[in-house]
Homo-oligomer: A and B are copies of this chain.
Amino acid sequence: MITIKEIAKQLNMSTTTVSNVIHGKTGEVSDETKKIVQDFLDKVDYVPNINARNLAQNESKIIGLALKARADKYENLIMDPFVSELIGGVEETIRNAGYFMMLYISSDTVEIMRHVSTWNVDGLILFGMLNDDGIRVSEKYKKPIVCIDTYSIEGLKHFTNVGLDDEQGTYDMVNYLISQGHRKIAFLSDNTNGVDFARLSGYKKALSDAGIKYSEADFLKIRPRSEDLEDSLNEICKRAKDFTAIMCVSDLYAVTLMAALTDRGIRVPEDISIAGFDDNMLGQLHRPALTTVHQDVKKKGILAADTLLKQLRGEKTPNQLLLPTRLIIRDSVAKVDG
């Protein structure tokens, strides 16, 4: 690891000159010395010490991607195709902009905040934060923050949110189910916060618009922890006969449910129709292929990173960006007699 100082010494010139050449401040230096330095740099394959540079400039060129995992989902988080696709989109965008990505996964907001400030990241992308977590972080660090899929009206004063029109997505899908003759439609999820709340709302709205009454019993709660999963699947499958269709909050749950139903001799879509949300590999490869709500996850990641990059350049950005959804009709939903 050769340093500027060392180069200057060997070339018998000052560090300033070398530094100027490195940064292309070409007006400040004669063509001759410029060439000498440039050649030497190439020869020794000079790479600046990033720590020194960051220290001197008080910036890091690092964008932190912090994923907050719910404690009960931690083991699965990184395996969720949704998460990997998101990471892919973010990483690519950050890299192409000459920044670096530091990935941090934790279920503890405080831990995440420590990490952020330790590295003095230039900006932060947050995923999985509950409503006020993002606010807490943004109040402490005055760096630009972009949240992904965070529902918090209050938060939008503090950070940009990149999200999805979740409510519209389930609204459209449930309307489709209704158009296929379904009236007894359940909703399956593991919680009712944030994204799940929005998707639940769309479902309820569609029911209500069609004059179908919603009752608590129509909410099927799945428990994702591996110890509980089988039990909760059991309960859900038992109650499946009360419905002709189940709107699942994610493809993962939809496919998990289809497998469980199949194992119990309940046929999809002949005995019951299943709809998902996300449109990932899981649903595409399952048979029957999953009818689902499409969202472009990679684009979400790209958009989040792009927005943050804009903010770092001082450009103004809207404080909320919503991506559209789209229905993907495949084979897991059947037509029934109303």
Which residue numbers of A lie inside 8 Å of B, CB to CB? 1, 47-52, 54-55, 60, 77-81, 83-85, 87-88, 91-92, 95, 100-106, 114-115, 117-120, 255-256, 258-259, 262-263, 280-282, 284-287, 289
Cβ-closest chain B residue relative to A77: B88
**A-B contact sample (18 more), CB < 8 A, given A55-B55, A95-B106:** A1-B117, A47-B118, A48-B118, A49-B118, A49-B120, A50-B51, A51-B54, A78-B87, A79-B281, A83-B84, A91-B104, A100-B119, A255-B285, A259-B284, A259-B285, A259-B287, A259-B289, A282-B285
Residues of B within 8 A of A78 (CB): 84-85, 87-88, 91
Cβ-closest chain B residue relative to A56: B51
Residues of B within 8 A of A81 (CB): 79, 81, 84
Within the assembled complex, what's the spacing in Å between the Cα atoms of A261 and B48?
54
Given the contacts A91-B103, A101-B103, A118 and B50 also touching, CB distance less than 8 Å: yes
Residues of B within 8 A of A83 (CB): 84
Q: Which of B1, B60, B103, B280 contacts A120 (CB under 8 A)?
A: B1
The reply to whether B51 and A55 form a contact with Cβ atoms under 8 Å apart is yes
Cβ-closest chain B residue relative to A47: B117
Within the assembled complex, what's the spacing in Å between the Cα atoms of A44 and B54?
23
Residues of B within 8 A of A95 (CB): 104-106
Residues of B within 8 A of A55 (CB): 49, 51-52, 55
Given the contacts A101-B103, A114-B47, A285 and B256 also touching, CB distance less than 8 Å: yes
Cβ-closest chain B residue relative to A283: B285
- Name 26 interchain pairs, CB-CB below 8 A, sorted by A: A1-B120, A47-B117, A47-B118, A48-B118, A50-B51, A51-B52, A51-B54, A52-B55, A78-B84, A78-B91, A79-B88, A79-B281, A83-B84, A91-B103, A95-B105, A95-B106, A100-B102, A100-B104, A102-B103, A103-B103, A256-B285, A258-B287, A259-B284, A259-B286, A281-B282, A286-B286
Within the assembled complex, what's the spacing in Å between the Cα atoms of A92 and B67?
12
CB distance from A275 to the nearest CB of B (A): 17
Given the contacts A92-B105, A101-B102, A50 and B285 also touching, CB distance less than 8 Å: no
Residues of B within 8 A of A117 (CB): 1, 47
Residues of B within 8 A of A1 (CB): 117, 120
The reply to whether B287 and A262 form a contact with Cβ atoms under 8 Å apart is yes
Residues of B within 8 A of A114 (CB): 47
CB distance from A114 to the nearest CB of B (A): 6
Within the assembled complex, what's the spacing in Å between the Cα atoms of A272 and B134?
52
The reply to whether B50 and A119 form a contact with Cβ atoms under 8 Å apart is yes
The reply to whether B91 and A105 form a contact with Cβ atoms under 8 Å apart is yes
Cβ-closest chain B residue relative to A85: B79
Within the assembled complex, what's the spacing in Å between the Cα atoms of A87 and B88?
12
Residues of B within 8 A of A80 (CB): 84
Within the assembled complex, what's the spacing in Å between the Cα atoms of A54 and B119?
11
